[in-house]
Amino acid sequence: METDQLVAFRDLNPVAPTHLLVIPKKHIASLAALEPEDQALMGEIMLAIKELAQQEGLDDGFRVVANTGPDGGQSVHHLHFHLLGGRSLQWPPG
């Protein structure tokens, strides 16, 4: 999926049967760097994630992750969201 504002594609190292990355084209370092003017962009991203989850058949649920900062596991300093699904993601497992 690609729009004027974002791009989405499958992760090269998936951690779930469905693992997509959703990335704004505007450079934003992380969720912590969001500004009020990014509100519409964030809404578009969330609606795109909903649409992608429907397209992927994730009717039983999915998880959306945005790692933020070093303690949050962020290794790429450009805001992006992981859409995960296709199996139970309950925590703790079992």
For residue 91, being part of any structural domain is answered with no
Instruction: Give residue 31's pLDDT.
Output: 98
Q: How many structural domains are present in the chain?
A: 1
Instruction: Give residue 92's pLDDT.
Output: 79
pLDDT in tens, 39-60: 999 999 999 999 999 999 999 9
Residues labelled as active-site residues: 80
* C-beta of residue 25 within 8 angstroms of C-beta of residue 93: no
For residue 33, being part of any structural domain is answered with yes
For residue 90, being part of any structural domain is answered with no
For residue 38, being part of any structural domain is answered with yes
Nearest-10 Cα torsion for 7, 12, 18, 22: -20
pLDDT bucket at 94, cuts 50 / 70 / 90: low
| CATH code: domain of residue 74 | 3.30.428.10
Type of residue at 1: M
pTM of the model: 0.94
For residue 37, being part of any structural domain is answered with yes
For residue 1, being part of any structural domain is answered with no
Neighbours of 13 (CB within 10 A): 5
For residue 80, being part of any structural domain is answered with yes
Radius of gyration of the chain from its Cα atoms, rounded to whole angstroms: 13
pLDDT bucket at 21, cuts 50 / 70 / 90: very high
* C-beta of residue 22 within 8 angstroms of C-beta of residue 52: yes
For residue 92, being part of any structural domain is answered with no
Type of residue at 62: F
Instruction: Give residue 91's pLDDT.
Output: 82
Q: Which domain holds residue 81?
A: 6-85
